[in-house]
Structure 1
Amino acid sequence: MAFTRPALNITAPVDRRGLLRGAAAFGGTAAFAPWFPGWAQPVSAGIVRAPTVLSGGDIHLRIAHQMLSIDGKTRHAIGLNGTVPGPLLRLREGQDVRLHVENALDEDSSIHWHGLLLPAHMDGVPGVSFPGIAPRATFVYEFPVRQAGTYWYHSHSGLQEQMGHYGPIVIDPAGPDPIGSDREHVVVLSDHSPFHPHAIFRKLKLQGGYFNRQKQTLADQLRGEGQSAAERFAWGAMRMDPTDISDVTGAAYTYLVNGHGPADNWTALFAPGERVRLRLINASAMTTFNVRIPGLTMTVVQADGLDVRPVTVDELQIAIAETYDVIVTPAEDCAYTLVGESVDRSGMARATLAPRAGMAAPVPPLRPRPTATMADMGMGGMAHGGDACTAEHAAMGHCTPAAHGAPTGAPAMDHGMRDFANAPEVKRTPVVQSISPMPVDRTGEPGQGLADAGHRVLVYRDLVATSRNPDIRAPARAMRIHLTGNMERYMWAFDGTTLNAVTAPIPFRQDERVRITLVNDTMMGHPIHLHGHFFELVTGHGDHAPRKHTVQVQPGGTVTFDVTMDAPGDWAFHCHMLYHMHAGMMQVVTVRPVEGAPA
C-alpha cells in the first residue's frame, strides 16, 4: 500500500490564548520554550531583536545532550548551549573571532564552519584538519572573518549532525549592505528522527530502500498511473526503483523549521508592505527541500552567502548544505504558509509568515511523488528529439543513436549501464552499480519532480554574480570525478573508491586554476561540498559566474565548475548527504605551494 502522510489543512486564524493553553497542556512550543534560541522561538519578530544571538570577538559554545519537543513529542537530541538549532552567530566581515567550544559529550565532537574561508587547521574536520574535540575538553577556534553572508555550522564527527548539532551564522558586510530590508528572519530547514542515526544507517545497509513507503503498486498500474508494465519490467531488470528518490523519508523523519515541527507552526512576523529578508539554510542530514510560499514570489539575492543579481521565482530547490537569501514583500494583512516539501514528497517542513501571532494560512497538500526518468538514469543525451526512447529499449541497447538524438557512434548499453570505456577514471569495484552512458549538464533544469510545477522554479543558470569573479584565468587543467554508488549494498564513493580505501589525497598546486566536472552515475542527487574554497559554476555567465561552495549534481547529470585552489592545507571534499559521506563518498584534497615559489 502506498504511504501518504496526511496533509495539514488550517484554514482559520488560531485563538492566541487557546494556543497558549494548548501548549501548556500538551507540551507544545507556543509558549517560551527553553530548548529553542531566541531567534527560533515559536513566534519571531526577527533576528535583530533575538536575545540569544551571539556576537563579538569571544564566543562560547557547549555541545551536550538534551531533550526537545517536536509537535508535542519529546525527543533526545544533541544541542549547543541548550538549544536546537544552536545559537545564531552574528559576526562582521573584517573582525577576528575566537570560538571556545566545550564538548560535554562522552564521545569526540567537532564544529565545521560551513562555507567560511579560514586557515585549514581551523576548519573543524577530525582526521583531516585537526584531531577533534575530546570528551570534556575545550578547543578554541580562532580566525579572521573574511566574508559576509549567510552560512552555518555543524558537527563533522560521526552522525551527530542528524541529532541536532547545527546552527546558523550571519555575517554582516564591513560596509553598507547592498541588500536592504526592513526585517530579516533566519529559516533553518532540517530533519529529525526518533531513531538513533546509527540505527538508520544500519537499516540502510540492510536494505537501501528501507524507508521508501511510496513504491509503485499494482493498484497504481490498474488506475493507469505510474509506469507501463514494460517499463516496470525494464526497471526491474536493472535492479532499480524509479520511486527511490530519497534514502530516508517521512517514514522516519519529521521535517523542521528552526527546530519546530509542522504542527508547531513556527511563525515569522512582518508588517504589510515590509521588505522581508529570509535567510534559508538547509541544515538537514539527508533531505533536499522544495521551498515555496503560496501567494508570494521570492526574489533570490544571495546563493551560498554571495550576492547574485536578483531573480524572482515561485519556488526553489535547496540542496543539503546550501543557503539562499530571498526577499519577499507581503502586502496583504494576512498569513502565508512557508512550505519546505521534501524532494520525494513524503512530508514537509511548514512555517507561517504573519502580521500577528496566532494566525495561520491554508497548508497545501503534498504533491504526487515524483518518479525517476530516463535522464535520471544517465540517458539524458537520448531523451531529446526523434521517437520516444523508453527505459526498456534504452537499457537493452535498442535505441539507435540517429533516431533518438544521440551522437553518432554512441555505444549501446547493457542492463547495468556499465560502459567503463567512457569512464577510465572509475575503478571496477562493488561501489559502482552503474555508469551513466550519456550524462548531460542539467544546471538549466529544475530539480527532480519540478519540471511540471506550473510556475517559475529557480535553476542554477538563473544565478549571476553581482561582481566580477576574482580570478578569471582559464583553467590550466581539467578533471572528471564520478559520483558512484551501489544502493543494494548502500556504498557510496568518488570514482568507485570509498574514503577508507583511498591511498592518497587528490593533489593540487597552490593557486592553480582547475576545471572539475562532476558526473553523477547514480539515480540520486548529490550535494557536493568543497571545504575552504568557492568555485565558479560553468553555466554561461563568463566572468560573472555564480560562486558557490556546495552544488547539487542531479541524477544522471553533470556539473562543471572552475576553482582556484588558493588555500594551502588539507581539505575535505564530500557529498553532504550525511549517510553517503559516512558510507564513503568523501575524499581529501591537498593544496601545496609550488616548489621553489616565493613564500
Structure 2
Amino acid sequence: MTQLIERRSFLRAGAIGLAGLGITGLIPAWARSGSPGLAPTLPTLSGEDIHLKIANTHFTVGGRTGHAVTMNGVLPAPLIRLREGQNVRLHVENTLDEDSSIHWHGLIVPFQMDGVPGVSFPGIKPHSTFVYEFPLLQSGTYWYHSHSGLQEQQGHYGPMIIDPAEPDPVAYDREHVIVLSDWTFLNPHHLVTKLKAEGGYFNRRKQTLFGMMKGGPEEEMSASDRAMWGQMRMDPADIADVTAATYTYLVNGHGPQENWTGLFHPGERVRLRIINAATMTIFNVRIPGLPITVVSADGLNVRPVTVDEFQIGNAETYDVIIQPTEDQAFTFVAESIDRSGMARATLAPRLGMTAPVPPLRPRPTLTMKDMGMGGMDHGSMAGMDHGAMAAGASAAAGHGNSHSMSGMNMRDKSLVPDSVKVGVGVDAIAMSPIDRTGDPGVGLEDVGHKVLTYRDLMSLTPNPDTRPPQRTIEVHLTGNMERFMWSFDGEKFSEGVEPIRFERNERARVVLINDTMMTHPIHLHGHFFEVVNGHTGSYPRKHTVNVLPGGKVSFDLTADAPGDWAFHCHLLLHMHAGMFRVVTVRPLEGDAA
C-alpha cells in the first residue's frame, strides 16, 4: 500500500497536509526543513505499490493561474522514494481525455515498462489505468515524466530517488531534492507555432547596432566576424529557443519571488539532488560564496570534484555536497543558458533569512567554435569567401532553402557525410567540429571561477565493460534554426526512418556531431553509456549528454538491454519537431540467437 509521507499542494488550493502522519518525529530527517506555506518538502510516496493520478489542474505562480497536467494534484509530481533491490508496482490512472504515459528517466527497466508510446508500449488510454512493474536494479537520483505530446511542459514530471542497498559512499547529514523547471502560461503547441513562424520569436536580446555603440557584447566581435555572421544570416545571440520572455523558472514548483527555502545547520554536509526537469532550458547553477562538490552525475557516483558552477542540461541530474559553516543564508542560483532569467532559492539556517540575489550576467554570444570551426586556423578565416559559402546553400540543399549554410563551403559537397540528407531542414554542417568535453558550456569560458566540464568527471568505480568498441557510429545533430526544424542526420523522425540497430551485448562507439549552433542534451533510453573524456577505464557513465554547438561528444555503449528504445534530444520541442530515433537491440529474450 502506498505510504504517503507528506502531501502538500503547490497549487492555489494550498496545503493539503499530512495524511495519516500527524507527528513531525515520524518524518525522516531529510524531509524536515523549508518554508511554511511553500511546500518546502516534496510530497513523497514509497512502498511496493504506488498510485499516481494524471489529471488537469490549475497551477499558480507569480500571482497568475493557468492550466497544468499534474500527478496527484501537485507540480512537480510527488517524490517517489524507493530502495535498490525492491520490486515496485506503479498504478497510473489517466483521467485526461487524451493518451498519456510515464517514462522512468534513467531507470534500467524492461523495455515494455519504459513508457514511450509507439515504441515500447501503446500508451495509457484516456480514463484507464496502466500498471508498471519492475525490479529496481540501481540507486541514485532520477526522475519521471510524460512521453506523450507536450504534457511534460504542462507540469507532468517529478523526482525519483532510489536509496542504495549497501551503505552510501557519499556521507551527508541532510539533503534537499531540487527540481528545476520552466513554466509558461502559453499552450505548449502555441510555442511550437510561434517558433515555426519565426525561429527567434522569444529572443528579445538580439545583437543590435545600439548594442555595439553602447559597449555591449557585440562590441567584442571584430568587424569581419560581424560581417560574416551577417552574410550567413546567423544570430550570435541565438542561445535558447524559448526564454524568459514567456518562461518563469521554477525550483520545486516555486517562482523566484516565492523563494523556496531549504534549511541547514552550520557545519552540516548538505546533499543537494539537482534535477533539470525543464522543457527547453539548460541552467547554469551556482551558490555564490559556497564551493560545490559534485559527487554523482545522472544517478551514478563520480569521484568528488569541487567547482564553483556547473551547467546542467535538460534531463541531467547532479548530486552535490555543500558545507556552509557560517550562520548565514546563501542564494541558490540557476541561471538560464541565455541569461534572460533565473530560478532562485535560498539555503539558510532559519526560515525568513535571505541572501543577496546576483543580477543576471551579460548575455553570451556564440563564437566561431560554436559554428563548427573550432578545429580551423582562425588566422586564415579573413581570406575566406564567406559570401560564397552562404550563396552555395540553396544549390546543395536542392530545396530552395533561403537560409544559409554556416561552417562549410557548400560548393564542396564532399564535406557533407553520406549519412546526412541535406535539404531544407539542414542549414549547417560543421566544417571542423572538435571534442568539446573540456569546455564548460556556452558563456561560461571566462566567468573567473572553476566551472565543471565533462573531462572533470571520473566514475567512482571502474567501468564494467573494458572491451574496445567493435565499430563506430556517427550521428549528426541537424536542424534549420530559422524554420525550427530539427533532426538526426537530416531526417526528422517518422515511421519511415530506419532504427539504429545493435546486436545484443555489442560494444560500439557513438560519435555525436552537432552541426547546429545550439546545445543539445541527447538522451538514450534503457542504457548508461561511457562518455569518452580521456579517463580510460573510469569514464563517467551517463544517460544524457550535452553536445555543445559545433562540437562533438563520443560515448562507448554496451548494448545489453534488448528491445526498442527512444533516442532523442531532451529539448522537448526539438524532439517534438523530429530530433528522435529508435534504437533497436536484438535478439530479444526467447529469440533465436
**TM-score scaled to structure 2, two decimals?**
0.89
Aligned to 2:46: 55
Could you tell me how far apart the structure 2 residues matched to 1:281 and 1:238 are? 37
Checking the alignment, whether the CA contact within 8 Å between 2:467 and 2:507 is kept in structure 1 is yes
Aligned to 1:372: 366
Equivalent runs, 1:48-447 vs 2, <5 Å? 50=41, 52-225=43-216, 226=218, 227-382=221-376, 387=379, 389=381, 419-447=413-441
Could you tell me how far apart the structure 1 residues matched to 2:243 and 2:501 are? 37
What amino acid maps onto 2:152 in structure 1?
E
CA RMSD of aligned residues (A): 2.7
Could you tell me how far apart the structure 2 residues matched to 1:571 and 1:585 are? 14
Checking the alignment, whether the CA contact within 8 Å between 1:41 and 1:266 is kept in structure 2 is no
Checking the alignment, whether the CA contact within 8 Å between 1:528 and 1:553 is kept in structure 2 is yes
Compute the displacement of 1:93 (Å). Answer: 0.5
Sequence identity percentage: 63
Checking the alignment, whether the CA contact within 8 Å between 2:182 and 2:281 is kept in structure 1 is yes
What amino acid maps onto 1:518 in structure 2?
L
Question: For structure 2, which runs of at least 5 residues remain unmatched after alignment?
Answer: 1-8, 20-26, 391-405
Could you tell me how far apart the structure 2 residues matched to 1:292 and 1:302 are? 16
Aligned to 2:494: 500
Checking the alignment, whether the CA contact within 8 Å between 1:36 and 1:85 is kept in structure 2 is no
Checking the alignment, whether the CA contact within 8 Å between 2:468 and 2:507 is kept in structure 1 is yes
Structure 1 residues 32 and 434: alpha-carbon distance in aligned structure 2, compared to 1, 3 A threshold: same
Could you tell me how far apart the structure 2 residues matched to 1:274 and 1:81 are? 33
Compute the displacement of 1:500 (Å). Answer: 1.6
Compute the displacement of 1:50 (Å). Answer: 5.0
Compute the displacement of 1:416 (Å). Answer: 5.9
Checking the alignment, whether the CA contact within 8 Å between 1:36 and 1:83 is kept in structure 2 is no
Structure 1 residues 72 and 56: alpha-carbon distance in aligned structure 2, compared to 1, 3 A threshold: same
Compute the displacement of 1:506 (Å). Answer: 1.2
Could you tell me how far apart the structure 2 residues matched to 1:36 and 1:559 are? 46
Could you tell me how far apart the structure 2 residues matched to 1:284 and 1:189 are? 6
Structure 1 residues 186 and 393: alpha-carbon distance in aligned structure 2, compared to 1, 3 A threshold: farther
Structure 1 residues 35 and 425: alpha-carbon distance in aligned structure 2, compared to 1, 3 A threshold: farther
Could you tell me how far apart the structure 1 residues matched to 2:154 and 2:411 are? 37
Checking the alignment, whether the CA contact within 8 Å between 1:29 and 1:42 is kept in structure 2 is no
Equivalent runs, 1:28-47 vs 2, <5 Å? 33-34=15-16, 43=34
What amino acid maps onto 2:76 in structure 1?
P
Compute the displacement of 1:413 (Å). Answer: 6.3
Could you tell me how far apart the structure 1 residues matched to 2:200 and 2:16 are? 37
Aligned to 2:570: 576
Compute the displacement of 1:221 (Å). Answer: 1.7
Checking the alignment, whether the CA contact within 8 Å between 1:162 and 1:192 is kept in structure 2 is yes
- Partner of 2:258, secondary structure, is coil
- Partner of 1:561, secondary structure, is strand
Could you tell me how far apart the structure 2 residues matched to 1:135 and 1:41 are? 37
Structure 1 residues 370 and 501: alpha-carbon distance in aligned structure 2, compared to 1, 3 A threshold: farther
Once the two structures are superposed, residues 191-238 of structure 1 have per-residue CA deviations (whole angstroms, 9 ceiling, x without a partner) of 000101000110001111100000011211212431344433311221
Matched, 1:550 2:541: no
Compute the displacement of 1:190 (Å). Answer: 0.3
Compute the displacement of 1:488 (Å). Answer: 2.0
Compute the displacement of 1:341 (Å). Answer: 0.1
What amino acid maps onto 2:159 in structure 1?
P
Checking the alignment, whether the CA contact within 8 Å between 2:562 and 2:589 is kept in structure 1 is no
Could you tell me how far apart the structure 1 residues matched to 2:234 and 2:507 are? 38
Compute the displacement of 1:528 (Å). Answer: 0.3
Structure 1 residues 124 and 420: alpha-carbon distance in aligned structure 2, compared to 1, 3 A threshold: farther
Compute the displacement of 1:35 (Å). Answer: 11
Could you tell me how far apart the structure 2 residues matched to 1:96 and 1:189 are? 28
- Partner of 1:499, secondary structure, is coil
Could you tell me how far apart the structure 2 residues matched to 1:230 and 1:41 are? 58
What amino acid maps onto 2:442 in structure 1?
Q
Checking the alignment, whether the CA contact within 8 Å between 1:42 and 1:266 is kept in structure 2 is no
Compute the displacement of 1:418 (Å). Answer: 7.3
What amino acid maps onto 2:231 in structure 1?
A
Could you tell me how far apart the structure 2 residues matched to 1:413 and 1:332 are? 50
Checking the alignment, whether the CA contact within 8 Å between 1:493 and 1:499 is kept in structure 2 is yes
Compute the displacement of 1:34 (Å). Answer: 4.7
Structure 1 residues 414 and 299: alpha-carbon distance in aligned structure 2, compared to 1, 3 A threshold: closer
Could you tell me how far apart the structure 1 residues matched to 2:17 and 2:184 are? 17
Compute the displacement of 1:375 (Å). Answer: 0.4
- Partner of 1:431, secondary structure, is coil
Structure 1 residues 131 and 380: alpha-carbon distance in aligned structure 2, compared to 1, 3 A threshold: same
Structure 1 residues 594 and 272: alpha-carbon distance in aligned structure 2, compared to 1, 3 A threshold: closer
**TM-score scaled to structure 1, two decimals?**
0.88
Structure 1 residues 295 and 528: alpha-carbon distance in aligned structure 2, compared to 1, 3 A threshold: same
What amino acid maps onto 1:209 in structure 2?
G
What amino acid maps onto 1:369 in structure 2?
R
Compute the displacement of 1:425 (Å). Answer: 1.1
Q: Determine which of 583, 587, 593 is the counterpart of 2:581.
A: 587
Checking the alignment, whether the CA contact within 8 Å between 1:418 and 1:437 is kept in structure 2 is no
Checking the alignment, whether the CA contact within 8 Å between 1:535 and 1:563 is kept in structure 2 is yes
Structure 1 residues 494 and 273: alpha-carbon distance in aligned structure 2, compared to 1, 3 A threshold: same
Which shows bigger deviation, 221-230 or 310-319? 221-230
Structure 1 residues 555 and 418: alpha-carbon distance in aligned structure 2, compared to 1, 3 A threshold: farther
Could you tell me how far apart the structure 2 residues matched to 1:466 and 1:306 are? 8
Could you tell me how far apart the structure 1 residues matched to 2:288 and 2:435 are? 30
Compute the displacement of 1:422 (Å). Answer: 4.7
Once the two structures are superposed, residues 449-486 of structure 1 have per-residue CA deviations (whole angstroms, 9 ceiling, x without a partner) of 00001000000000000101111100111111000000
- Partner of 1:563, secondary structure, is strand
Q: How many aligned positions are there?
A: 555
Could you tell me how far apart the structure 1 residues matched to 2:327 and 2:297 are? 29
Structure 1 residues 518 and 420: alpha-carbon distance in aligned structure 2, compared to 1, 3 A threshold: farther
Could you tell me how far apart the structure 2 residues matched to 1:346 and 1:50 are? 28
Aligned to 2:554: 560
Structure 1 residues 390 and 580: alpha-carbon distance in aligned structure 2, compared to 1, 3 A threshold: farther
What amino acid maps onto 1:132 in structure 2?
G
Could you tell me how far apart the structure 2 residues matched to 1:389 and 1:77 are? 50
Checking the alignment, whether the CA contact within 8 Å between 2:32 and 2:41 is kept in structure 1 is no
Once the two structures are superposed, residues 19-54 of structure 1 have per-residue CA deviations (whole angstroms, 9 ceiling, x without a partner) of xxxxxxxx9989954599999999269xxx958311
Structure 1 residues 332 and 416: alpha-carbon distance in aligned structure 2, compared to 1, 3 A threshold: farther
Checking the alignment, whether the CA contact within 8 Å between 1:374 and 1:390 is kept in structure 2 is no
Structure 1 residues 170 and 433: alpha-carbon distance in aligned structure 2, compared to 1, 3 A threshold: same
- Partner of 1:580, secondary structure, is helix
Checking the alignment, whether the CA contact within 8 Å between 1:443 and 1:559 is kept in structure 2 is yes
Question: For structure 1, which runs of at least 5 residues remain unmatched after alignment?
Answer: 1-26, 399-411
Aligned to 1:4: none
